Each structure stands twice: as C-alpha cells, then as structure tokens.
Structure 1
Amino acid sequence: MYHPKLEKDIRCPLEYGLDVFGGKWKSRIICVLADKQTLRYSQLRTQMTNITDAVLSSTLKELMKDDMIARKQYDQIPPRVEYSLTEKEKSVVPILQHICQWSGAYHKEDNKNTMAQCQKCDYHGNPL
C-alpha cells in the first residue's frame, strides 16, 4: 500500500471533504452503495466497471477508515462480507447529488460512459 512521505496538511473543511470524497473511485462506490444499500464484495465489483480488485479493496479500506462505509462480516462458510454506507455517509449523499446536478448542467454527456447509478441524481433537464 502506498504511504506518502509527508503527512496531509488539511487546513479547512472543504479540503477534508475533497479528501474523503475525491478521487475517481470513491464517489462511484458511494453512488452504488447509496442506490443498492448493501452489497457483497463480488456484487460491488460487478457494479463497478474497469476497476481492479486491488484498487477496489484499497478504496474500500480508505472509506472504512474515514467511517464512510461499514463492513459486516458473517461467521459462516463460505465467508460472507457485506458493505453499506454509514449514517455519516448517508447524511452527505444529498450534497453529493447536488454536486452531480451542478456538474450535469455543465458536463458534456458521453452516453457510452455514463454509469446507470448516475441516472439516480436526475440532473437531466434540471440546469441550476
């Protein structure tokens, strides 16, 4: 796992928010879990396209470290693990949806790369 040489120097709440939700995969994972509620790793992997297992695993660990995603492990054979959004994360989903609406008003849409989950924000035809 990558470890930065310098500690992060976060000085304002916006920087914290961008650190927690920023990046290519975090927002996509959050959108999938907001839509599907609870998923096993393999189901989450299926919902995410073009992500490697290493990146998915690493991103899930980062989100769990920030208390954004809950991981529930069941003691059974075969082992079963489920992921879901925490209450902390659920509280920010409407804010992320507003960001999606704003972005949708200015983003040139490319239908072949639009994820099905992104349709949940309902930004089409709703310019700000």
Structure 2
Amino acid sequence: MAGSARRGPYFCGIDAAMDVVAGKWKSLILWELHHHGTRRFAELRRGLPGVSEKMLIQHLREMEEDGLVHREVYRQVPPKVEYSLTEHGVSLNAALEALGEWGTERMRRIGADRVTVTVA
C-alpha cells in the first residue's frame, strides 16, 4: 500500500482513519470523485466551491501519497491530468457514507439547510 503516516502512534482505528481524512476538503474530494468518477483538476475545483487551488493541490498530493487517489498524467499538448479513486479510496468512501448519513440527520435535527451547488 502506498503512503505513510504523517503522525503516530495511533491509539485506535478511528485515530488512524482521521489522520487520512484530516482537513475540510479530503472527504469532499472523495465524495466528488465517487459520485462523478474520474475528474480533471479544473472539474474538481468547480465541484468544490470555496477550495483554493493551493489547498486542492496539497490535499490531492497527500491523498495520492496515502493511496486514496490515482493521478494519471497524459503526455500530450496541452498537458492532461486526471484524478480517480483507487480501491483504497473507494473503500474509505464507503466507510464515510454512514458518517454522511449521520450528518444529514443532524442537519435535519438542527434545521440546517443544504447548500445547493450547481455544476456547469
């Protein structure tokens, strides 16, 4: 498996999992790639309103290092790079689905509205 821990030792499995998805955007990147499939950088950025280019690059690099995201570089002009989930990323996304369901229920309980995002 690719990647290495950025910290440790871990106290439990949740601690190890949270290390991999730490940061506001990583779980959202996983969701975007899961629901929309392979994406180019600009497509990811449009699908994640509010993420800066710098933060998206940083998170994608860390996720690639952790074996969650595959980066495919096509040698052509203009250059083309695509991102997709690895098997490890798919399994993490499946694990996060229950957390997403919990969050949706919490939003209902506290009366929070969903943010509707329109992707061109």
Give TM-score scaled by structure 1 length.
0.78
In the TM superposition, residue 10 of structure 1 has moved relative to its aligned partner by 3.1
Corresponding letter in the other structure for 1:8: R
Q: The residue matched to 1:72 in structure 2 has which SS? A: strand
Q: The residue matched to 2:8 in structure 1 has which SS? A: coil
Structure 1, unpaired ranges of 5+: 1-6, 117-128
Corresponding letter in the other structure for 1:44: L
Measured against aligned partners, the alpha-carbon deviations of 1:52-102 in whole angstroms (never above 9, x if no partner) come to 100110010110110000000001000000000001111222221111111
| Counterpart Cα distance in 2 of 1:64 and 1:23 | 15
Q: The residue matched to 1:91 in structure 2 has which SS? A: helix
| Counterpart Cα distance in 1 of 2:58 and 2:41 | 12
Corresponding letter in the other structure for 2:99: I
| Counterpart Cα distance in 1 of 2:73 and 2:60 | 14
User: What is the RMSD of the two structures over their aligned residues, measured on CA atoms?
Assistant: 1.6
In the TM superposition, residue 115 of structure 1 has moved relative to its aligned partner by 5.1
CA contact (8 A) 2:7 2:19 kept: no
Corresponding letter in the other structure for 1:85: L
Corresponding letter in the other structure for 1:105: E
Alignment of 1:50 with 2:50, yes or no, is yes
**Alignment partner, residue 24 of structure 1:** 24
Corresponding letter in the other structure for 1:37: G
Corresponding letter in the other structure for 1:33: L
**Alignment partner, residue 9 of structure 2:** 10
**Alignment partner, residue 41 of structure 2:** 41
Q: How many residues align?
A: 109
| Counterpart Cα distance in 1 of 2:46 and 2:9 | 34
| Counterpart Cα distance in 1 of 2:42 and 2:56 | 11
**Alignment partner, residue 64 of structure 2:** 64
Q: Which has the higher contact order (CA 8 A, sep 6+)?
A: 2
